[in-house]
Structure 1
Amino acid sequence: MHDIRTIRDDPDKFDAALSRRGASPAAASILALDDERRSVATVTQEAQGRRNELSKAIGAAMAKGDVANADALKLEVAQLKQSLPILEERERHVSQQLADCIAALPNLPATDVPDGTDESDNIEIARWGTPRTFDFAPQEHADFAPALGLDFETGARIAGARFVFMRGQMARLNRALGAFMLDMQADAGFVECAPPLLVRDEAVFGTGQLPKFAEDLFRTTDDRWLIPTAEVSLTNAVRDQIVDTAALPICMTALTPCFRSEAGAAGRDTRGLIRQHQFDKVELVAITTPATSDVMHETMTAAAEAVLQALELPYRKILLCAGDMGASAMKTYDLEVWLPGQDAYREISSISNCGAYQARRMNTRFRPDGLKKTEFVHTLNGSGLAVGRTLVALLENGQQEDGSVVLPPALHPYTSGMSRLEPGN
């Protein structure tokens, strides 16, 4: 959400920033609605004030016995009673139009975010690890992992496409991965949480999925939403609050199922675990001050990188260009893990600084030390990591020619010493 005062102060600058996101100019239409709202509000307030004046005047006229004047004043009051509801409804309508128009706009990119329209314009910041050299042709996980307990056929039979049924050693590894990553993030200072998986409209609006991305979500018959990520629940934990400055930063983590209809991703990554309707993810969320959000962004990114390094998975760190970021973000790092089966790096985590964009939508503020006026907090979120995609990376990087998979030592305490997956086990 954007501050209307920012748009009023420099509409050209606002439109220029929007254009970096590939969005059309919006300042003129927003300011036209803002002018209309303020004009209608002024007329409404004047009419309300006149009604109050008339009420007093009628009382004074009646006290003097001036019935003719009182009757004339009553006639004017009656006319105002007819016009005021129309004016008030018009003000509500225009105000809602203005709010909807602003709410549909993406966040503005930070100044250090590179220009660009898509992933080809992203900038690689760093790489870690060296991709393994195979003495056989590595396969994609969807081709060899069914023999290890990754059952796509049963998942599809039960729930349809983009669901999986995990068995035995594979289910155990999936559980172990989530626990391992959650422990790492808790040890890094993120408070472990167990949030609701069903949320109300205002929660999904607060983090920016509504109204624009409703088709990518699952809605229940009682008008709740299945969370697409724990970001929604965790970030909204401070909704409609003035947060104690001494409590900042608030750093949270959670391991939850996530649900996405992926309506906007039809035909993409239909094989395997890369893009599922249901998956587990360890989420990182931070609520902090504007002065410290840039440092927190780097801290959260490092926390996600630490998981990949502990699992010995080669990856690269990418700074997204303005046109490739999610709508709520003002700056985003992607971590892309090496998948030998695809001979490519693929996204495994996005860590975003959303600035005050979500805080405005949630009405979450803090009061800087020594000041009476409150300010909006900054919110950040990211994956630390997506369990399914991490599982894919482990399978493909650890695959052996005989179909088994060697697991990194860091996971052995979480798998009761299981060091590899064996076909048919």
Structure 2
Amino acid sequence: MAKRRIVVLGSTGSIGTQTLDVVRQHSDRLEIVGLAVHGSIDLLAIQAREFGVRHVAIGDASLKDDPRCDELAALVGSLPATADDDEVSGASFGVGPAAVAALTQLPEADVVVNALVGAAGLQASYATLAAGKVLALANKESLVVGGDLIMPLAARVDAARRAAGVAPATGPAGALMPIDSEHGAIYQCLLGENPREVSKLWVTASGGPFRGKKAEELEQVTPAQALAHPTWNMGAKISIDSSTLMNKGLEVIEAHHLFAMPYEKIEVVVQPQSAIHSMVEFTDGSVLAHLGTTDMRIPIQFALSYPERWEAPVKPLDFRTLGSLEFAAPDTDTFRCLALARHAGEVGGTLPDVMNAANEVAVAAFLKEQIGYLDIARCVEATMDAHERGGVQVVESLEQLEAVDAWARSAARVWCDRR
């Protein structure tokens, strides 16, 4: 069986390093052919050497004159080609966003794992699907900001996969595989089911480190407190989003696009143990739930193995020791970001782009202690309100979304500077 060849964008982050761990465990089935990072040159060099990767890129253009880049270029140029690399000549190394996007075009790549953080991942997702490759998506903003552009592209790749006979005999064709605990769970619960018989998608949330707190208790929250997620090990930005419940808001918008589900059929439920990763409710009252160990390597592996299931990458969940399962409604009055994200999704157009950009700016400002914790939602709401007053646009192009993103970031920075 031929190995599946993978490009990992964001290889030194949480999802990226866990993807590499899955590849280590299944080296007979998976091979890394490209790696990209934002600025972690030293760790990228270690990864390239370990996996023999001859195509690497660094996203931070300001590092182009760093002497370590010359060393990395020399390293990848010295690595031997694999026996199956006859159709590809030489190695490649580049610095800047274009170099990262270029990895999605490697002719030998079958799957691109997009684990980039923030709106920067949208360009890579678009380029991956435009090249006809499978997109294993961990970058939330690709669908939150550009779902209106990404999903039609994915449908075209799905059709091409079916026409070429490389899609599974049953089930989705697999052009876009979600690397996300919640959406991976819903994806699996829907396998073999009729989407018209779905009455509700239940997106689960741990509730974050401040579950049960009220607004007055959160005014003095520090970045260190907000980064202390109770169950998941994630990067700083995603951890803050989880604490504000913005992460769930983004996932609601993603679910709308991924599963073509109207917002009135998508609900968030707090499940503190994080054992149930999400659920699908059907018109007859039946509910399918996806349970498992709280380890991202499980959804990562399924995205890479689909339609097959391989040996578990982690110790399976022992239901005898799980204890109780709790459920609660999210507090959207205290955690305003969830309500703001749902509103952005329901309005649609360019409003989710503005919401996402403002949130990125506000989270960065909070991490630098320039604004307070509750100011994150205030900044997002103020920026969204300004955009709605000016007129929300229909999404038409990446260039349009980039321009709206730039406006929203500028507006959000002005708001933060005035605090």
TM-score normalised over the length of structure 1: 0.22
More strand by share: 1
Structure number with higher relative contact order (C-alpha < 8 Å, ≥ 6 residues apart)? 1
TM-score normalised over the length of structure 2: 0.23
Which structure has the larger Rg? 1
